[in-house]
Chains A and B, each alone.
Chain A
Amino acid sequence: MAARKKKSLGDDPLAWLKQEAAAEDKPVLRKKAVAKKTRKKASQKKPKKVARVDKNQSGATILLEPVLVIDEAIQLHKKLNTYINQQDDVIIDGSNVNMIDTAMLQLLTAFIVKLKNKGLKVTWKDPSEELISRATLLDLHKQLELG
């Protein structure tokens, strides 16, 4: 099993906000109330969102998150893998993408190629300019069918 990654941030200079909110029984900075601290194991820690999926009658719509970089590659790979074995067409919504690196573009390319080899249809919905320009820069726009 991989060793738990050491945190780069030690001290929390904002911790006083939680203490103050708890003492006053008020939300931090008028935003959502501070969640009660619960002990969680490392394996239960919620991973960073990389994509949201909506199921509709014609297949799945995968909504890509704004920032897609290599640090989240494993998570996106797991998410996309769940659709490789299903028999649904896929719509990928790239409208929110503000930042995407080579690793994530390659992951998406591999995903689209696999689905097409299975005879499934993949379409893009509103791919962002950043997504298209990055894909074009790396000459992946054809495989990604970004036009």
Chain B
Amino acid sequence: MRSIAVVNQKGGVGKTTTTANIAYAIAAMGHQVTVIDLDPQGHLSAHLGMNQSTQDGIDKVISGKTTFVNTVKEVRENLRIIPAGSELVLLERGNGDAEFGEILQKMIATDCNDQDFVFIDCPPASGLLIDYALTAVDEILVPVAGDYLALRGLSDLVATLKQFEKKCNKNFVQWIVMTRFHVRRRLSWEVQEKLLEYFTDSVLITPIRETSVLAECPSFGKTAFEYKKGNHGASDYESLAKNFINGECISGRA
């Protein structure tokens, strides 16, 4: 079982889009996938068509008020979700306990031990919720948009990760996916070159091209695969899913 946090402190880079679509693609290949919405905005739940206004979520599971079984929901074949929950925002503001990260880690190890992949969709922040996610997982998937500010966000994230690894004596397996990629824009290619310069063997082969489909489909509670046939978003995420499963990076790490 692989546990992955989809994380980037910069907002709008495609964390939720990537979590929803790559999870769907991997599930469609026959693997068992669980996604955890750790973002108080609850966008992952909305993306997958779940009305979570009255749902208990991961907020109550890690604070011990309910159980995993009571909150997990099957949303697609082979794909299930634990929604965020309304109290997650309180945990983000500092009402949480440092042990919640270990509780999340234990939950994944015991209640998800029959799963092949567990993805955690993280909020665009650097607070307690990120700490919980990093405590719970072995791998990091970082979506990076093809622009300068995304590189700055990545720089901040790398600093956070280094501190965390040092503090917790942990070494994450790190993957980078380029998102919102404009093929005809030189800046996108320069950002990719910069990523390859610093993160050799970590940049997954398939960049996710910018397409309106990825922006439209969440409003219908659908992934790109279900929204419109033959769109670039779906084909890119399908390729990305294969790259991720097989560890296929631009410089050939496997």
Residues of A within 8 A of B189 (CB): 48, 71
Residues of B within 8 A of A8 (CB): 185-187, 190
Residues of A within 8 A of B163 (CB): none
A29 touches B174 (CB 8 A): yes
Which residues in window 95-115 of A have CB below 8 A to B? Answer: 96, 98-99, 101
B190 touches A7 (CB 8 A): yes
Closest chain B residue to A7, Cβ basis: B190
Residues of B within 8 A of A70 (CB): 184
A14 and B194 in contact, given A31-B199, A130-B239 (Cβ under 8 angstroms): yes
CB proximity of B165 to chain A, nearest CB, Å: 10
CB proximity of B97 to chain A, nearest CB, Å: 30
CB proximity of B79 to chain A, nearest CB, Å: 23
Interface centre among A11, A13, A31 (most CB of B within 10 A): A13
Q: B83 an interface residue at 8 Å Cβ cutoff? A: no
A contacts with B: majority SS: loop
B201 touches A17 (CB 8 A): no
Q: A23 an interface residue at 8 Å Cβ cutoff? A: no
1/0 contact string of A23-46 vs chain B (CB within 8 Å): 000001111100000000000000
1/0 contact string of B187-226 vs chain A (CB within 8 Å): 1011101100011111001110100000000000000000
Residues of B within 8 A of A29 (CB): 158, 174, 198-199, 202
Residues of A within 8 A of B202 (CB): 29, 31
- A residues contacting B by CB (< 8 A) are 5, 7-14, 16-18, 28-32, 48, 66-67, 69-71, 96, 98-99, 101, 130
User: Could you list some 28 contacts between A and B, CB below 8 A?
Assistant: A8-B190, A9-B151, A13-B151, A13-B154, A14-B151, A16-B155, A17-B158, A18-B198, A28-B198, A29-B158, A29-B174, A29-B199, A29-B202, A30-B171, A31-B199, A31-B201, A32-B201, A48-B189, A66-B205, A66-B206, A69-B184, A70-B184, A71-B186, A71-B189, A98-B239, A99-B207, A101-B183, A130-B239
